[in-house]
A = this chain, B = another copy of it.
């Protein structure tokens, strides 16, 4: 279990209070493990499930038009920034941040922690 918690904690901790949730999710939308902070009015957990369900369509389109495998989906809206990164064929790593959080740092933290989770989930 620690093998899943440590990468999530490292993502949340690396964003200096800017992270709202770091979630490992099956591609079917079922969460495996998550760290969630208080995010006020925004229903972050539900939104991540919605966005992850779009990932399949994005991936299909990308492959159909020869853009290759999907590496990252980022959605910035007024009150929330979301980044989703595939861990492997079955799982996704999702990060929800405040709009003021460091976007580049968030992407970096997903990129370095996804391979650790791939190993832990293998």
Contacts and interface: CB of A to CB of B under 8 A. Distances in A.
| Oligomer: number of copies | 2
A54 interface: yes
Counting chain A residues whose Cβ lies within 8 A of the other chain, the interface size class is 20 to 34
A74 interface: yes
A11 to B, nearest CB: 18
Interface of A: 41-44, 46-47, 50-51, 54, 57-58, 61-62, 64-80, 82, 104
16 contacts: A50-B65, A54-B57, A54-B58, A54-B61, A58-B75, A62-B80, A67-B79, A67-B80, A68-B77, A68-B79, A68-B80, A71-B78, A72-B76, A73-B74, A73-B75, A74-B74
